[in-house]
Amino acid sequence: MKFNHVFKQYLNCSDRAEVFQYLQDNLTESLYFWDYFVNWDKVFNKFRDVEINLNLLNYLVGKDNIEEEFRVLLREYPKVASIIPILLACRDKDFKILHSYTSGNLKYKVFNFKTKNQLTEQEITDILEFTKKTKIIELFKNKLIKNIPDYVLGIEVGLDSNGRKNRSGRTMETIVESLLLQIQQQKSILLISQATSEKIRTQWGISVKVDKSSRRFDFAVKNDDTLYLIETNYYGGRGSKLKATAGEYRTLFNFISSQGHKFIWITDGIGWKTTLRPLEETFSHIDYILNLKMVSTGLLSEIISQKL
């Protein structure tokens, strides 16, 4: 961290060690917003895409001669086959299943569930084999569930919960963007969200080399001839990724600063409390690591407006 008098002014910190203590003492415990739990729009859109076929599949529930009924259904409505993977909470359409491994000789069978307008008898047989081996057919035969659409709606909710980590990250971006927009209104600065090197070059005529073609900075801020590239993230839980993340941003800082541009990393979350050493090492190396508390004091605005 590049220590400056503004840290005394905004954080009441006298040296770099006190600034890092302030950072770790003010890590945010939660960024849960109302849409953190379930993105219902996404869930319902996914559900509507398959709802008709789910209702057709519901016909099988409780049938005695279920295998023959299944064959008839697949002959009449072959597109039903495409939704079978979702019953296993899978979005994949192709499966390469290991069915033999005797003496280390691995043998596979391929199953395909892409949408088709017609199925051969062999394809129908393969689909039935898949449903029997994965026990899906038991759901219908033994009435373990009474309504396939309701069952799949529950699966979609479960799959959507995997996106909670990303939603915390997006909330972090939203909060920082709101603060940057306030700074933009008060100061004479320019702002680009989701800034690629191409966007920056096109809008501002500034060349930014990137370390990978997919690099997209959360924000780019221009104050006269000074360019700030800003990355944000949030870590609410522990994980082995945090040590690598700290190293990644140290490397990114070196790459950006070597071009004469400035880099600010805004990160937060109590997950960092489990990996303080790598965070402190990066903190000591790059110019600015801030959390939301530090940003909200007016420190970020001062850094940018004064070109610190």
Q: Which of 176, 158, 172, 157 is nearest to 32 (CA)?
A: 172
Q: Is the pLDDT of residue 169 over 70?
A: no
Whether 212 has a pLDDT exceeding 80, the answer reads: yes
What was the pLDDT predicted at 134? 92
56, amino acid identity = L
Average pLDDT of the chain to the nearest whole number? 88
More confident residue, 43 or 22: 22
What's the pTM?
0.69
pLDDT at 80 over 80: yes
Look at 2-11, 112-121, 137-146, 261-270 and tell me which has the smallest mean pLDDT. 137-146
Percent of the chain with pLDDT over 90: 55
| pLDDT, tens only, 288-306 | 999 999 999 999 999 999 8
Angle at CA of residue 294, ends 288 and 296, nearest 5°? 125
| Spans of all domains in the chain | 5-30+187-305, 40-162
Q: What number of H helices and E strands is found in the chain?
A: 13, 7
Residues in Cβ contact with 171 at an 8 Å cutoff, skipping those fewer than 6 apart: 31, 33, 36, 234
User: Each residue of 96-114: pLDDT tens digit?
Assistant: 888 777 767 888 889 999 9
Candidates 3.30.200, 3.30.70, 3.40.1350, 1.10.155; CATH matching 5-30+187-305: 3.40.1350
pLDDT at residue 3 is higher than 90: no
**132: confidence class by pLDDT, cuts 50, 70, 90:** very high
| Residues 226-274 pLDDT 10s | 999 999 998 887 665 888 889 999 999 999 999 999 999 999 988 899 8
pLDDT over threshold 70, residue 13: yes
The identity of residue 145, as a single letter, is I
